[in-house]
Amino acid sequence: NAGVTQTPKFRILKIGQSMTLQCTQDMNHNYMYWYRQDPGMGLKLIYYSVGAGITDKGEVPNGYNVSRSTTEDFPLRLELAAPSQTSVYFCASSRQDQETQYFGPGTRLLVL
């Protein structure tokens, strides 16, 4: 049982480039989340999804987009990367919104 997987593990982007962070879960969870974690800080919610075809903004959505075409996958798209988006990005999933969240290993992104 792989749980939540994320790719890539690390990426360097130039300012203005775009990329997609991949997230897949195999637990048949309805809820999926994208967080960012800046050094020494907690997690801030970027976007979340309550099921396939349904997404909603979190606390810090600007500069990002998401889609949820299947239950398993929840990719995060960065358009026009900026240095402020340098961070570690975590994907998580849960069966219901108030239940335990299971986290992926994270993607470390550096924008130069």
Q: Residue from 45, 52, 60, 82 that binds other proteins (CB under 8 A)?
A: 45
- In the bound complex, what is the minimum distance in angstroms from residue 107's beta carbon to other proteins? 10
Q: Residue from 14, 28, 42, 62 that binds other proteins (CB under 8 A)?
A: 42
Under rule CB under 8 A, residue 62 binds other proteins: no
Q: Are 29 and 10 in contact (CB under 8 A)?
A: no
How many whole angstroms separate alpha carbon 47 and alpha carbon 67? 10
C-alpha triplet 103, 109, 112: angle, nearest 5°: 165
Instruction: Say how many residues make up the chain.
Output: 112
| Residue numbers 85-104 binding other proteins by CB under 8 A | 90, 92, 97-104
Interface with other proteins (CB under 8 A): 4, 35, 40-45, 48, 58-59, 90, 92, 97-106
